[in-house]
Amino acid sequence: MPGNTSTPEWWRGAAIYQVYLRSFADGNGDGTGDLAGLRSRLPYLADLGVDAIWLNPWYPSPMADGGYDVADYRSIEPVFGTLAEAEKLIEEAHDLGIRTIVDVVPNHASDQHAWFQEALAAGPGSEARERFWFRPGVGDGPPNGWKSIFGGPAWTQVPDGEWYLHLFAPEQPDFNWTNPLVREEFLDVLRFWFDRGVDGVRIDSAAVIVKDLDSVEESYTDHDGVHEIYREWRRVSDSYDARILIGEVWLPDQERFAKYLRPDELHTAFNFDFLSSAWEPAALRDSIDLTLATHVPIGAPATWVLSNHDVARPVTRYGRAVTSWDNQERRDGMPSDLELGRRRARAAALLAMALPGSVYVYQGEELGLNEVEDIPEELIDDPMWERSGHTVRGRDGCRVPLPWSGTEPPFGYSTGEPWLPQPAGWRDLTVEAQEADAGSMLSLYRTALRLRRELLGDGTLTWLPYGDEVIAFRRDSGLVCLVNLGAEPVALPETGSVLLASGPLDGGLLPSDTAIWIMEA
Ligand code: GLC
């Protein structure tokens, strides 16, 4: 395979592009992105310079939670295409040096999954119900007071009186991971996709799959029992060549987080600490230090993530008065200075790409898209909206279909009407417009990813003393990254050649909210 992906440990320094398939490119004009659209745009991703793509769930799904309600783990949602097309995608991506990572959702299925339907039909006490968490209620109410992560109770009652657990929407019943049949099933699902050539698996909600239902308090995060499960998964992935497991592990406790990355468990996990950090020098430096202190001793590479399909777009987030991210406090609609946010997002990109480890780019991040905050209420699709009693608008604002070309919606994304409306203001942010502009966000990402391939990725860093307001470090290749997070411009080093800057320099000075890559003399 071409590119730097030919090494067995390709994942240690990879740039991984997250494809939210529903909104990437629509090949058949129905307004929803699909495999045909993605395949036609693979050259774009090759030009961008990414090593792998991670696709959000592409399985048959009623889409109660954007595909995270999986009805069949071994097939493709017809709106997206067919299994044969998925296999072609994997092959065509490989031909371009791009690996494919799929999303596996082990915590819950769709309520339309055959096992859940069987469980409903089989009734209380049946083996079919043992694959999920069915329980009698207490009095008229649910078995306990656990709340769903999307709001409302975590239990729903079925007509025969029993209740089932769902940490997310009622359409997403939780699997019972104490049941060996569930464990076997997922090992087989892994083999199914590895046999079809996928290079890795992103594990959804990886830390919450084991529960203690006898606890009065919610007790599902990070139970020790998860580790034996991921050790089994690792034995499967190790039986193939260079396949990886990536955990979605949101845990504030870094010691606990590190346990998932032991040599016989997951290969990497998303760095949500970095993603959540405020745009402040001490906060970012602490996050980087903490990340390295967590990963280096166990030999696991760090990951650097600025955004994904669950959080506000960086351009919007970094332009707000509060720049940190908090899942509980989403700050929807908090005013944002997008020009400031864009300048910071450009600098943040150069920071993330310069750090040792792998980096994620969520589709549209490379175009500097903002969070869309005015989606008409009747079009909001995210279950958070309903579940919160219309108080949380949720995550649709970062899932709006990409603008590819032209001057008005649907911007080359589709020949039909996009499933979520695109802002007219995105005419300047299309791929076409940005390709023609050397100063665009897209041009910055392309250049940065190209340089990163040669000079960055896996390895170590050395902090450079540059004062409190500046994040400054040198990588093994001699590349120095400086990010000025202070209000005043700072002097650049006297020697070395400038490889790339996130914004215009001020003579010999690095302006506020600007990052630069310099090759040491
Ligand atoms: C993960 C996904 C999110 C989904 C949830 C439930 O957090 O990233 O989009 O809603 O799991 O599957």
Q: Which of 162, 171, 204, 513 is catalytic?
A: 204
In this structure, what token pair is assigned to residue 341? 């946010």
Looking at residues 356-375, what average pLDDT do you find?
A: 98
Check whether 477 has a pLDDT greater than 70.
Answer: yes
Return d(Cα 519, Cα 509) in angstroms, integer: 16
Find the mean pLDDT for residues 467-481: 97
pLDDT in tens, 79-128: 999 999 999 999 999 999 999 999 999 999 999 999 999 999 999 999 99
Separation of CA 389 and ligand 1 centre (Å): 19
- pLDDT at residue 382 greater than cutoff 70: yes
Q: Which of 21, 168, 249, 385 to mutate to test the pocket of ligand 1 (most atoms within 8 A of CB)?
A: 168
Q: Is 362 in the pocket of ligand 1 (CB under 6 A)?
A: no
Contact 437, 444 (CB under 8 A): no
- Tokens 């967590």 belong to 294
Domains of the chain: 10-107+180-278+305-445 (3.20.20.80), 114-165 (3.90.400.10), 457-519 (2.60.40.1180)
Residue in this structure with the two tokens 């780019």, named with its chain if needed: 361
Percent of the chain clearing pLDDT 90 (strictly above): 97
* pLDDT at residue 1 is higher than 60: no
Q: Is 105 in the pocket of ligand 1 (CB under 6 A)?
A: yes
Task: Looking at the CA of residue 310, tell me the nearest atom of ligand 1.
Answer: 9
pLDDT digits (tens, 9 = 90+) for 368-381: 999 999 999 999 99
Angle 30-32-34 (CA atoms, 0-180°, nearest 5)?
A: 105
Neighbours of 56 (CB within 10 A): 23
The number of the ligand 1 atom at minimal distance from the alpha carbon of 308 is 8
Least confident of 24-28, 250-254, 396-400, 501-505: 250-254
Calpha distance 410→426 (Å, rounded) = 10
Q: How far is CA 431 from the centre of its chain?
A: 21
Active-site annotation holder among 51, 162, 171, 248: 248
pLDDT at residue 345, rounded to an integer? 98
In the prediction, which pLDDT does 8 show? Answer: 79
Which tens digits make up the pLDDT trace of 313-326? Answer: 999 999 999 999 99
Q: How far apart are CA 468 and CA 286, in angstroms?
A: 12
Q: Which helix (H) or strand (E) segment is 405 a member of?
A: none
204 catalytic, yes or no? yes
Ligand 1 atom with the shortest distance to the CA of 105: 12
Angle at 480 between CA 479 and CA 483, to 5 degrees: 140
| pLDDT at residue 5, rounded to an integer | 43
- Residue 380 has a pLDDT of 98
- CA of 309, closest atom in ligand 1: 9
Check pocket membership of 65 for ligand 1, CB cut-off 6 A: yes
pLDDT of residue 250: 94
pLDDT of residue 3: 38
Long-range contacts of 141-147 (CB under 8 A, 24+ apart): 143/213, 144/213, 144/215, 144/216, 145/216, 146/218, 146/220, 147/218
* 238 Cβ contact list (under 8 Å, min separation 6): none
Q: What pLDDT was estimated at residue 139?
A: 96
Mutate which of 204, 251, 325, 386 for ligand 1 pocket (most atoms within 8 A of beta carbon): 204
Phi, psi (deg, nearest 5) at residue 244: -125, 160
Best of 202, 310, 325, 384 to mutate for ligand 1, by most ligand atoms within 8 A of CB? 310
Give the distance (Å) from ligand 1 centre to CA of residue 12: 24
Q: Check pocket membership of 168 for ligand 1, CB cut-off 6 A.
A: yes
258-272 pLDDT per residue, tens: 999 999 999 999 999
